[in-house]
Amino acid sequence: MREASVVLGADLVLDRVDLQVGPGESVALLGANGSGKSTLVRTILGLHPLRSGRVRLFGHDVARRRSVPWGRVGYVPQRVSASSGVPATALEVVRSGLLSGARPFADRGARARRRALEALNAVGLAHRAGDHVQVLSGGQSQRVLIARALVRDPELLVLDEPLAGIDRASREALASILRSLRDQGVTLVTVLHEMGELTEVVERAVVLDDGRIASDGPAVELAAAHGDHGHDAHPHDASRPAHHAPALTTSTNRPGGARP
Question: How large is the angle between the packed helices 138-150 and 168-183, nearest 10 degrees?
Answer: 20
Q: Are residues 173 and 258 in the same domain?
A: yes
CATH label of the domain that carries residue 240: 3.40.50.300
Q: Are residues 48 and 162 in the same domain?
A: yes
Q: Are residues 247 and 163 in the same domain?
A: yes
Return d(Cα 82, Cα 45) in angstroms, integer.
20
Domain span holding position 7: 1-58+155-260
Residue 243 predicted with pLDDT over 80: no
Report, as an integer, the average pLDDT of 161-190.
93
Boundary (domain end) residue, out of 152, 180, 201: 152
Is position 75 within any domain?
no
- Among 258, 259, 162, 252, residue whose Cα is nearest residue 209: 252
Q: Which is it for the CA torsion 149, 154, 159, 163, positive or negative?
A: positive
Q: What is the DSSP string of 188-221?
A: EEEEESS-GGGTTT--EEEEEETTEEEEEEEHHH
How many folded domains does the chain comprise? Answer: 2
Is position 67 within any domain?
no
Q: Are residues 258 and 173 in the same domain?
A: yes
Residue 226 predicted with pLDDT over 70: no
Instruction: Give the least confident one: 1-5, 32-36, 78-82, 143-147.
Output: 78-82
Q: Which is it for the CA torsion 154, 106, 99, 68, positive or negative?
A: positive
pLDDT (0 to 100) of residue 238? 36
CA of 112: how far to CAs of 91, 116, 141, 168, in Å?
Answer: 10, 6, 20, 32
Return d(Cα 233, Cα 48) in angstroms, integer.
28
Is position 221 within any domain?
yes
pLDDT (0 to 100) of residue 174? 92
Return d(Cα 219, Cα 97) in angstroms, integer.
31
Is position 255 within any domain?
yes
Q: Are residues 165 and 260 in the same domain?
A: yes
Boundary (domain end) residue, out of 117, 152, 187: 152
Return d(Cα 34, Cα 139) in angstroms, integer.
25
Q: Are residues 119 and 167 in the same domain?
A: no
Return d(Cα 85, Cα 87) in angstroms, integer.
6
Q: Are residues 54 and 169 in the same domain?
A: yes
Is position 180 within any domain?
yes
182: Cβ contacts below 8 Å, ≥ 6 apart: 24, 26, 188, 201, 203
pLDDT in tens, 179-204: 999 999 999 999 998 898 999 999 99
